[in-house]
Amino acid sequence: MLTLIFAVYAFSLLAALLMGGSLSDYLGRRPVIFGALLLQSVSMLLFILASDVSWLVAARLLQGFATGLAASALGAALLDNDSVKGPLINSISPMLGMAVGALGTALLAQFAPMPLMLGYCLLLAAFLSQALYLGRVEETVSRQPGVWQSLKPSLHVPQQARRMLWLVLPVDIAAWALGGFFLSLSPSLLVAATGSTSPLNGGLAVAALTLSGAAAILTLRQREPVLGLWVGASFLPLGVAVILLSINLGLL
């Protein structure tokens, strides 16, 4: 059931990227970001009020769709405002955000009251505050016709990049598959492997994954892309081997 709850998030996020990835080019950055924040707020309410698994699935579906809309619009807005630092911020902020979120919610679940609700309440307040503050942010794109046509799912790869795409696709799939597996199941696997039910263990595991990803981006961003691919492809199986060896040796 945990994998289902995680999977519906990923599929709805992908749907949002395919259908609404260019929506902010027609409506403007602020309206799309505002809509995404409102959808995120509703998803937090669903989490807070959840009484069974169906509520969690619905919340994750909505959360994934809102995240996809926000990611495309925010990424474009960052590039509009700073074409030099924008790509770096777009690359590193999701990693840092997941690390802060994993550690923060783990600490709340471990030490704060209402461990199953407080994190969602704080996120709800944060999303609503951001939606209100958005009115002070300058719009960088003018409205233009073609909104409905932009909602038609589309995927385009420039001709000159297609060969490279097919070459890196296996590594990309492996990295995201392993990352998704780790993000969704590592807390449960740690409980099974160590017997400890502390939420901090899961939070630290997720933070270690995402912080190391952020460190890799900062370290290799000025190097040749091929070097990054070789390093990443080499470390993927090595990381799995270290985890399996640690479990078998009782080092976790």
At residue 161, the pLDDT reads 84
End-to-end CA distance of the chain: 25
Q: How many domains does the chain have?
A: 2
**Directed axis angle between helix 225-248 and helix 162-194, to 10°?**
20
Q: Which residues contact 93 (CB under 8 A, 6 or more apart)?
A: none
Residues 72 and 101: their CA atoms lie apart, in Å, by 20
37 within domain boundaries: yes
Kindly state the DSSP code that residue 116 receives in the 8-state scheme.
T
Q: Please tell me whether residues 137 and 39 are part of one structural domain.
A: yes
Q: Do residues 124 and 192 share a domain? A: no
Residue 153 placed within a domain: no
CA distances from 113 to 56, 101, 108, 237 (A): 21, 17, 8, 39
Residue 106 lies in a domain: no
7 and 127 fall within a common domain: yes
CA distance 215 to 197: 29
Looking at residue 251, what is its pLDDT?
62
- pLDDT at position 25 is 85
202 falls within a domain: yes
Residue 212 lies in a domain: yes
Predicted confidence at residue 143, as pLDDT, reads 85
Q: 242 and 124 in one domain? A: no
The pLDDT assigned to 250 comes to 65
CA geometry: angle at 181 spanning 32 and 238, to 5°? 120
Asked if residue 123 and residue 21 are part of one domain, the reply reads yes
26: enclosing H helix or E strand? helix 23-27
- Rounded Cα distance between 120 and 43, Å, is 9
In a domain, residue 149? The reply is no
Are 220 and 178 found together in one domain? yes
Predicted pLDDT at 168? 86
- Alpha carbon distance 150, 155 (integer Å): 12
Residue 60 lies in a domain: yes
- Classify residue 101: in a domain, yes or no: no
| Together in a domain, 128 and 195 | no
Same domain, 14 and 54: yes
> Which of 25, 13, 10, 15 shows the shortest CA–CA distance to 149?
25
**What is the pLDDT, as a whole number, of residue 229?**
84
Judge if 124 and 234 occupy the same domain: no
pLDDT in tens, the chain (252 residues): 767 888 899 899 999 988 888 888 888 999 999 999 999 999 999 999 998 899 999 999 999 999 999 999 999 999 988 888 888 898 899 999 999 999 999 999 999 898 889 999 999 999 999 999 998 888 888 888 888 887 887 777 888 888 888 888 888 888 888 888 888 888 888 888 778 888 888 899 899 989 998 998 888 888 888 888 888 888 888 888 887 887 777 666
Token representation of residue 184 = 């969704």
Same domain, 193 and 136: no
30: CB partners within 8 A, 6+ apart: 134, 137, 139
pLDDT at position 252 is 60
Instruction: State whether 168 and 234 are in the same domain.
Output: yes
Place of tokens 């059931």: 1
Q: How far apart are CA 169 and CA 175, in angstroms?
A: 10
| Diameter over CA atoms, the chain | 62
| Residue 136 structural domain | 1-95+115-142
